[in-house]
Amino acid sequence: MDINCDMGESYGNFKIGNDAAVFPYITSSNIACGFHGGDPVHIRKTVSMALEYGVRIGAHPGYPDLAGFGRRDMELSETEIEAMLLYQISALQGMTQSLGGSLSYVKPHGAFYNRIARDTEVAKVVFKTMDLLSPSLPLMVLAGSPAETLAREKGRPVIAEAFADRRYEGDGQLMSRKKEGAVIHQAEQAARQVVSLALHHQLTAANGTRLHIQAQSVCIHGDNPQAIEILQAIDERFATEGIQKGYGS
């Protein structure tokens, strides 16, 4: 099972997360591209760290809203979505190549990620745009979302993703961050959710519904204060259960 985390979101003197502590535990890093977070200096440093730790690199483009950290939905035109994606992915791709690496995937950020998950018109624009860059570059999307279905129908590569530290609604959508309990802070509970996803492709929603979720990657949030504890708990559980970490394993 692949373990991914949002990285490189610090901006100048404004620090987010604890990237140096998280890298040893993850197998994929979603690196900010400068719009919702991430200035060039932090992006470059984070790409270097990912290469050093042998962690896969994904571009993590977001809405152009630094003050809102890309977590407020915006009404953008098709042209605006296409251009902001090309710009951000290209920036990360070139910086990664300049350090001897290459992009393994793209994972949209925050409100943009949620919009793609539920709005297939926007998902279509995103797939079309990614084809301009590389038809073989996979998009990471919410496992079980209409966007995943659409990609599978079109034969477009995607990585289906579930969340270690977020609660789900009964319909399989992520619970909004505005609701109490949206983020899981107990390490053991998050680790159990990941093991259940890895072994049984199942997860219990906030309302008790048993969801079937086929995920290839699991996300932990780096700005969750319990991130390291959760990652350690996952490692222990994976060792006990004999689950391999890493993409495609």
Residues that bind a second copy (CB under 8 A): 10-16, 34, 37, 39-41, 43-44, 64-69, 71-76, 79-80, 82-84, 86-95, 97-99, 132-133, 223
> Two tokens at 206?
């906030």
For residue 239, the minimal CB distance to a second copy (Å) is 34
> Two tokens at 149?
């279905």
Distance CA 118, CA 196 (A): 24
Q: At 160, phi and psi to the nearest 5?
A: -80, 130
Cβ(164)–Cβ(200) below 8 Å: no
Distance CA 209, CA 1 (A): 23
For residue 29, the minimal CB distance to a second copy (Å) is 17
Residue number with CB closer to a second copy (133 or 174): 133
- Residue 145's identity, in one-letter code, is S
Residue number with CB closer to a second copy (137 or 195): 137
Residue number with CB closer to a second copy (1 or 16): 16
Work out the burial of residue 71: count CB atoms within 10 Å of its CB; fewer than 13 is exposed, 13-18 middle, 19 or more buried.
middle
Residue number with CB closer to a second copy (14 or 239): 14
For residue 191, the minimal CB distance to a second copy (Å) is 26
Distance of CA 125 to the CA centre of its chain: 19
Work out the burial of residue 42: count CB atoms within 10 Å of its CB; fewer than 13 is exposed, 13-18 middle, 19 or more buried.
buried
For residue 106, the minimal CB distance to a second copy (Å) is 12
For residue 74, the minimal CB distance to a second copy (Å) is 6
Q: How far is CA 142 from CA 45, 48, 132, 192, 205, in A?
A: 28, 27, 22, 19, 15
For residue 180, the minimal CB distance to a second copy (Å) is 16
For residue 28, the minimal CB distance to a second copy (Å) is 21
Residue number with CB closer to a second copy (37 or 172): 37
> Two tokens at 232?
């350690």
Residue number with CB closer to a second copy (24 or 40): 40
- Residue 124 DSSP symbol: H
